[in-house]
Amino acid sequence: MTAATFMVNVAPAPGPFTLSGPEGRHAVTVKRIGPGEIVMLADGHGGRSVGTVTATQGKDVLHVDVTSREEVPPPNPQVTVIQALPKSERQELTVDLLTQGGADVIVPWEAERCIAKWQPKKAKKWENAAVAAAKQSRRARLPLITKPNALDEALDGVDLVLVLHEEASVPLAEVDLSQVRRIALVIGPEGGLSPAEVERFRAAGARPVLLGPEVLRTATAGFAALAAIGVQTSRWLVES
């Protein structure tokens, strides 16, 4: 059975630990975690602990005997996703999929052909969606969600910029990623990238790539591309 994961400020060292507050309430009242069950405690910055529940208290306190703690290293390569805004009802799904797919940084991008416009109140919903997805996928590191349209910062210092573009001739699967440590992945809107946007990314050294024969929605294209990058690199290798 998959161990339920809960977020804490700092992943605790081996020994007794008490999980309380909103995460404790979620564990006791919603997940109905009880004595004897194994849980994971992650701090979102690489720290991850594993322990056995010893007792519950009230509706929001979980007592855990932590048996191990590890520091999970950052993935290699690290991937920043520059994500064109999907329609409002698909934005949280998009963040969920990007988080499950392993994005390290997510940059909300109001591209020229986006129907949706960035709303400051959406920032918290994006963060909450990332936390929920990280817990579901047992990620030790939360993705950083930047301020919107921070393209210059996102492109600074990367080794490779990949732009998903239906008119590209080179498949993503054929791009050599063996020596790449930092990737920026550009996901355009449903209406596609404008010529000016394509040129802007080309000027930054971007390589337009083709994901496959089908054109995916902007909400799902990032996840598919992250999966392709994962199987080509060490990101999805599991140590034995």
Band of pLDDT at residue 240, cut at 50, 70 and 90: very low
- Mean pLDDT value of segment 229-233: 91
Band of pLDDT at residue 97, cut at 50, 70 and 90: very high
Structure confidence by residue, pLDDT tens digits, 192-210: 999 999 999 999 899 999 9
How many CB atoms lie under 10 A from the CB of residue 209? 21
Structure confidence by residue, pLDDT tens digits, 106-161: 999 999 999 999 999 999 999 999 999 999 999 999 999 999 999 999 999 999 99
Q: How would you class 118 by CB atoms within 10 Å of its CB: exposed for 0-12, middle for 13-18, buried for 19 or more?
A: middle
Band of pLDDT at residue 238, cut at 50, 70 and 90: low
pLDDT at 74 over 60: yes
